[in-house]
Chains A and B, each alone.
Chain A
Amino acid sequence: MILTIVGISRGMLVDSQRRMRAVGADVLVRPPGSSVISLSSAPIPEKMIQFIERQPHVSMAVGAVNQPVGGVTVVTGIDVARFTQLSGGFRYLKGGPPRQPNDLLVDRYYAQQNKLSIGSTVSLMNRRWCVCGIFEEGKLARLVIPIQILQDLTSNPGKLSQIFVKVDNPANTDAVVDELKSQLKGYLIYSLEEFVSLISMDHVPGLAEFIGVIIGLSIVVGFLVVFLSMYTAVLERTREIGILKALGASPAFILDMLMRETFLLAICGSVVGIGFSFGTRWLIMTLVPGSLSQHIVPDWWPITGAIALAGALLGSAYPGWRAARQDPIEALSYE
């Protein structure tokens, strides 16, 4: 459970980083007061694109609008032609760019999850859309429509959520960032690498705490499960323990035996848990690749192993101690 939760958290963040990098911009301009991970409004005036393009070393600037449409799914509005100039464009697996007002581009994972093909219709924002192109995942967004359509639909004509800026030479990125910061007071202006580095657990408000709570709950649940399992196992083995005591096994021998078994069970449980995390990733990639992304997190394997081991050993210590002190005659008469 811990490996899957951490894997999903990391997978979602890495997926966001990868899509942002693939945009091909060098600098990002975001509205004042926006958070790193999400944009749900469009307060930047569109005229700012021309302003930015007039700055030294700026090759081009492309605006985008983001609109959440349920869960973690976001529709991005962009001028597809200019985006192609900026990033090299989408790699279409089927179909091509939007030509009609109701045309919608989707990435492969979204199409796979929702069983969409060219010509399929999708209901979003109280409107029916026609899938005109399916592109390779990993660039910008999962759902893309022309920017003007999204601006109109969200009652934000002439407004943007963010602006991607291309610099003439990557070496000039810092100079452009500094220049824009001095000109656009209050706006959040990042080099792309800086922005990508901010897409992490530590920079998403509440995420680290959320993960901490989940891990804490996992430890408590794991401890109780192991404790009750061991208690039941020891009860079931009362007669067996009586036999060993009749043969001369000391309390230390019994406790040692139970602890060794617990240790082995915890190790096996950890290995099975790692296996399950591969299983949940396969399930996510098969059933909901457009909504969730899970990474395998080997750096968490020793942590979860230690949690399992500590829970198991602590959980079995009391029933093991009781079993070790059991009266052999009572134990032998146990049915």
Chain B
Amino acid sequence: MSDPIIQVRGLRKVYRVGDVDVEALRGVNLTVERGELVCVVGPSGSGKSTLFHILGGLTSATSGEVIVDGRDLSKISDAERTEMRKRLVGFVFQKYNLLPTLSAADNIAIARHIAGRGLTEDPKFREVLQLLGIGHRLHHKPRALSGGEQQRVAIARAIVNHPAILLADEPTGNLDSKNSEAVLGVLRDLNERLGQTVLMITHDAHVASYGHRIVHMLDGRIVEAG
């Protein structure tokens, strides 16, 4: 069996807010195997997003060990974290976060460009776009797309560089039930057909049921690892 793609040991994160230290993560331990679809659930302030940000290389840990695809994130510099975000992780946000002035195709292309893969389209990626059901909507700007379509473009952008893990933060939080099902179906298909490891944060128990296992967080700790 191969090594876990994510290994977190004793992870702590303390934020300084004014003169007060806020302990967002208080010794988190988590292991995610390759090809897993794991859902992280918990109330607001439980530390889900902070864990997401550290795993995605958006911020550093205060202490503890975080290994993603064999790389210890606790020992890398800001520049190395920036480099890691290009290829190791893909993000899907609740608010889609597409660049409003670019078409769907260009939103995907810019992620390739930033990762140094050029602007030309990868032929194999066309199949993924068909799987996502947005092949015919690529030349539209985000404002011309429905919420579900925008989120599927965001998913395409997140996986265009074949990241080791896909981090999805409340990906259905802004969608109606029909579009939520479509997006969750896409994430599950990516996981099942392409073996994409997915870590998804959610409040919704129904959404969480799409995962192979559910990790519960409370007050900066994992209280149930599924």
Contact = CB atoms under 8 A, between A and B. Distances in A.
Interface residues of B, number: 22
A250 B79 contact: yes
A235 to B, nearest CB: 16
A248 B116 CA distance: 10
Contact of A329 (B58, B84, B98, B114): B58
A251 to B, nearest CB: 8
A26 to B, nearest CB: 66
Tell which of A239, A242, A245, A248 has the most Cβ of chain B within 10 Å: A248
A246 B90 CA distance: 9
B188 to A, nearest CB: 23
Contacts of B99: 240, 243-244
A332 interface: yes
Nearest to B87: A248
A278 to B, nearest CB: 31
A248 B58 CA distance: 9
Given A329-B53, A329-B59, A332-B97, A246 B91 contact: yes
Contacts of A240: 99-100
B82 interface: yes
B114 A244 contact: yes
B127 interface: no
B137 interface: no
Contacts of B111: 247-248
Contacts of B97: 239, 242-243, 246, 332
Nearest to B100: A240
Interface string B39-82: 00000000000000100101100000000000000000001001
Nearest to B91: A246
B59 A248 contact: no
B22 to A, nearest CB: 14
Contacts of B114: 244, 247-249, 253
Contacts of B115: 247-248
A198 B58 CA distance: 68
Contacts of A244: 99, 110, 114
Contact of B82 (A243, A248, A332): A248
A243 B58 CA distance: 11
Nearest to A242: B97
Interface in A230-259: 239-240, 242-251, 253
Contact of A248 (B86, B93, B98): B86
A253 B85 CA distance: 14
Contacts of B192: none
A249 B157 CA distance: 14
B83 interface: yes
Which of A240, A243, A244, A327 is packed against the most chain B CB atoms within 10 Å?
A: A243
A315 interface: no
B190 to A, nearest CB: 18
A244 B107 CA distance: 10
B59 A247 contact: no
A146 interface: no
Contacts of B91: 246-247
A328 B58 contact: yes
A244 B97 CA distance: 10
B221 to A, nearest CB: 21
Contacts of B83: 248, 250
Interface of B: 53, 56, 58-59, 79, 82-87, 91, 93, 97-100, 110-111, 114-115, 157
11 contacts: A240-B100, A242-B97, A243-B97, A243-B98, A243-B99, A245-B82, A246-B91, A247-B85, A247-B114, A248-B86, A332-B97
